[in-house]
Structure 1
Amino acid sequence: MMALIQRLPLPPQTIAWGLLVANGFLIALMLALAKAATAQGVPAVTYAFWQTLIAGSVLLLGSARFSAIFERRLTTYFVISGLTGIAIPNAIAFYLVNKLGAGFIGIMYALPPIFTFLIATTMGLEQRNWTKLTGLSIAVSACAWIVLQRHSEMNQANGLWFALGFLIPAMLSIGNVYRSVAWPRQTKPLILAAGTLLASAISLGALALLTETPLFSQDFGQPFLGIIILQGLLTALTYYCAFELQKRTSPVFYSQLGAVAAVFGLIIGIAWFNESYSLSIWLGAIMVIAGLRVSNRAASVKNCQPPGDDTGYIRQHPEARSAQDA
């Protein structure tokens, strides 16, 4: 698929933004399917396990180098990337989606740029920039406003659920930075996506065994099989495109993926599940996205260049250039 896209006369910026929008929609759809399944009594850990196992298996079978996934040098990368980028945030999201709504969980996926920027500047991956800081401050304030409004609209909502929700962007941010900095040399994104998903599945399977959570039960209902197969296939596409996007952009640009997912999440939540959100929450969501756009205004064009280009990010971290060689 990516080979076909690369043959089209499209500038790198267009490809990067296209991948960003497509990924955002797929993430929102993933959350909607998870809500439909967990509403039938499927445990969040169980659903996340099958989702990642099916998706990882599909990508592995589609890989030209099946044996590459078993290379020892990739083991640490797969485990850390799988836990921070998939297993932990997805399990939390699937657990909370029926409690706080698909739209609200989608907003949590919009926050990684804030955490990513803090981590990246601390590590020297991004330069401190007042424009970015201003935009992220707007986004943080808007998010706090959304949480307060949503909590007031849900009389029985547990405050701990909202606190738990913030682990989603925190883990995703750690994963964003780690994958960019530790990107293995001479390894294609398809292999990295497959290995990360399968490592996530193994972690979730172990957690299910430790907590005595059933990985399959007749109580899950007949529609479960169809939903999880569809989810696995969509997840395979989502993470394949995500790793292609990560290869072409910086961690901060990549982390804007959640803002797109947040918009689609609100729309799908209303259209599919009849979720209702007040005008104040919609305004807050708009302000989150506006703040993220302000924060990336000065660097968005530069950051969406492929790693082979002579950007400041590559000059500081030449190891990321190896991704383009793969």
Structure 2
Amino acid sequence: MANLFASSIGETLKPLASLAGAGACLGLSTTMAKIADSAGITGLPFLAWSVLGAALILFLVSYLRGDLPPVTRRTAEYFCVSAFVTVAASNLIFFLAVPRVGVSFVSLAITLPPLLTYLGALILGMEKFMLMRAAGVCAALIGAAVLAVEKLGAPDADIFWICLALTGPLLLAIGNLYRTARWPKGVTAEALAPGMLGVAAAMLFAFALVPDFDVRVPLDTAGPALLIAGQSLVFSAQFLLLFVLQKSGGPVLLSLLGAVGAVVAVPFAVFFLGETPPQGLAVGAGLIALGIALVATGKAKADRREVRSRAELSTS
């Protein structure tokens, strides 16, 4: 029984550590999008080249591990759908919105997927209803909603970009559910991440065919190249940890990535980028933190109950 409980602790810490790491990377990547815009790199080229760089890094890691992404009909579908909703469409929306509505608002918009993900997981039978987890998701959602309402009520609010930024969380929620439901059997997280990023890079470069979009980057100084290299490293860690979290924590815990990212990005935007703190920040951030605690605690309790059940079966 002691071994079972030790295993349970490890199984609980792994998703929480992955959540913290991936969330920190998400918050950092949103902040770097604002820095890149200030350096003259617009959203599409910064995102496209950074995703390509991350894909190459993870492909190299997969090659050295002897675990390259398999190419089958199932994985091709998985890479294409995941790439669109998780990386290309959602991140392009966020990166284009950052210069117009600010890092703080975009970071907090990314905290909205939990309720959509939780409801979808219940409908699809991926999750059993737990009052504590449901309360946590609702608390995080209410906290983000407080901040969104305050932003919409601001006198200088750009309604179009605020509303567009709020469509990104819907795509993220769809991605959370899809990646869990359609995870190819026997394929590791280390193999799925580079495959998804490679397809996402191809999609983003295809946007350059649309009028008024291109992927050219100013190279008169070393700054843009260094920013892209840094963002590539952040993305490679973020999406690798995302798949680890997906496998170990499930879609609902995964959906709290945005909340963790906001904890990193909002203070950075306020103290280092000079952004005005969003109205309702204390209330919204407090509710989001409460939501994370409730969801994580609910999962830990469920894991402990499962361990006790296994222990009772093994001794009976």
Shorter chain as denominator, the TM-score bin is 0.7 to 0.9
Listed one character per residue, the Cα deviations across residues 152-187 of structure 1 (whole Å, up to 9, x for unaligned) are 34x322112221122221111111111111111121
Q: Is the 8 A contact 1:248 1:304 kept in 2?
A: no
Partners of 1:107 and 1:296 lie apart in 2 by 19
Instruction: Give the SS at the match of 1:186.
Output: coil
Q: Is the 8 A contact 2:40 2:218 kept in 1?
A: no
Partners of 1:89 and 1:299 lie apart in 2 by 27
Listed one character per residue, the Cα deviations across residues 181-239 of structure 1 (whole Å, up to 9, x for unaligned) are 11111212111000111111111111222235221143786411110011111211111
| C-alpha deviation, 1:299, in angstroms | 3.0
Counterpart residue identity of residue 275, structure 2: E
Q: Name the TM-score, length of structure 2 as normaliser.
A: 0.86
Partners of 2:178 and 2:191 lie apart in 1 by 17
Partners of 1:93 and 1:48 lie apart in 2 by 10
Q: Is the 8 A contact 2:104 2:278 kept in 1?
A: no
Q: What is the aligned residue count? A: 301
1:160 and 2:183 matched: no
Q: Unaligned 5+ residue runs, structure 2?
A: 1-7, 310-316
Partner of 2:248: 248
**Change beyond 3 A, Cα 1:176–1:310:** farther
Q: Unaligned 5+ residue runs, structure 1?
A: 1-8, 313-326
Listed one character per residue, the Cα deviations across residues 83-128 of structure 1 (whole Å, up to 9, x for unaligned) are 1111111101111112222122111221211110111112122233
Point out the more displaced range, 90-99 or 294-303. 294-303
Q: Is the 8 A contact 2:100 2:158 kept in 1?
A: no
Partner of 1:114: 115
% same residue: 26
Counterpart residue identity of residue 169, structure 1: P
Partners of 1:311 and 1:192 lie apart in 2 by 33
| C-alpha deviation, 1:294, in angstroms | 3.4
Partners of 1:87 and 1:119 lie apart in 2 by 22
Listed one character per residue, the Cα deviations across residues 258-278 of structure 1 (whole Å, up to 9, x for unaligned) are 211111111211232022215
Partner of 1:32: 31
Listed one character per residue, the Cα deviations across residues 17-57 of structure 1 (whole Å, up to 9, x for unaligned) are 11211111111111111111123332312221111111011
**Change beyond 3 A, Cα 1:291–1:14:** closer
**Change beyond 3 A, Cα 1:126–1:150:** same
Partner of 2:314: none
**Change beyond 3 A, Cα 1:186–1:211:** farther
Partners of 1:310 and 1:78 lie apart in 2 by 34
- Structure 1 vs Structure 2 CA RMSD: 2.8
| C-alpha deviation, 1:129, in angstroms | 4.1
Partner of 2:5: none
Instruction: Give the SS at the match of 1:79.
Output: helix
Q: Is the 8 A contact 1:28 1:268 kept in 2?
A: no
Partner of 1:207: 207
Instruction: Give the SS at the match of 1:61.
Output: helix
1:20 and 2:19 matched: yes
Instruction: Give the SS at the match of 1:42.
Output: coil
Partner of 2:4: none
1:127 and 2:122 matched: no
| C-alpha deviation, 1:150, in angstroms | 2.2
Q: Name the TM-score, length of structure 1 as normaliser.
A: 0.83
* Mapping for residues 1-326 of structure 1, pairs under 5 Å: 11-63=10-62, 64-65=65-66, 68-153=69-154, 155-218=155-218, 222-277=222-277, 280-295=280-295, 297-302=297-302
**Change beyond 3 A, Cα 1:129–1:10:** closer
